[in-house]
Amino acid sequence: MSKRDPTDRSPVVLQIGSERHEGWQEVRIRLSLEQIADSFELVLTERWRDSGERRPVVPGEACTVAVGDELVLTGYLDEVLPDYDAESHTIVARGRSKAGDLVDCSDTDTRFDGRTLVQIARALAEPYGIEVVDEVGATRAFRAYALEDGQPIAEALERAAQIRGARMVSDAEGRLVIVHAVQREVTPALVLGGNIRRGSGQFSDRDRFHTYLVEGQTPGTDEWSGEQAATPRGRATDPRVRKPRTTLLVCDTPADGADCRDRAELEARMRWARGRGVTYTVGTWRSDAGVWRPGDLVHVRDEYLGLDEALLISDVQLVEGNDEGRFAELRVAPPEAFEPVPVPEPQPASSGDDWGF
Predicted local confidence at residue 229, as pLDDT: 55
Architecture of domain 102-179: 3-Layer(bab) Sandwich (3.55)
**Amino acid identity of 261?**
R
Amino acid 49: pLDDT: 47
Residue numbers in the chain where pLDDT is lower than 50: 1-2, 48-51, 224, 349-353
| Sign, CA torsion 96/97/98/102 | negative
User: Are β-strands 132-134 and 176-179 bridged in parallel, bridged antiparallel, or unpaired?
Assistant: parallel
The Cα 11–Cα 25 span in angstroms is 11
Side chain identity, residue 325: G
The CATH number of 184-205+275-338 is 2.30.300.10
Q: Given its phi and psi angles, is residue 39 left (phi above 0), alpha (psi -120 to 50 degrees) or beta?
A: beta
**What's the pLDDT at 321?**
86
Out of 3.90.1170.20, 2.30.300.10, 1.10.3720.10, 1.10.645.10, which CATH number does the structure's domain 12-97 have?
A: 2.30.300.10
| Mean per-residue pLDDT of the chain | 86
* Count of all residues that appear for the chain in the document: 357
Determine how β-strand 184-191 pairs with β-strand 296-302.
parallel
184-205+275-338 and 211-273 have identical folds: no
Q: What does the domain layout of the chain look like in residue ranges?
A: 12-97, 102-179, 184-205+275-338, 211-273
Cα–Cα distance measured from residue 177 to residue 116, given in angstroms and rounded to the nearest whole number: 15
Find the angle CA(204)-CA(208)-CA(211) to the nearest 5 degrees: 155
What is the amino acid identity at position 10? S
- The dihedral over CA atoms of 43, 40, 285, 323, expressed in degrees to the nearest 10, equals 30
Specify the pLDDT at position 316: 97
Q: Going by CATH, does the domain composed of 211-273 fall within 3.30.1920?
A: yes
pLDDT tens-place string over residues 35-66? 999 999 999 765 544 445 555 678 999 999 99
What is the three-class DSSP state of 162? helix
Q: Are 332 and 313 in contact (CB under 8 A)?
A: yes
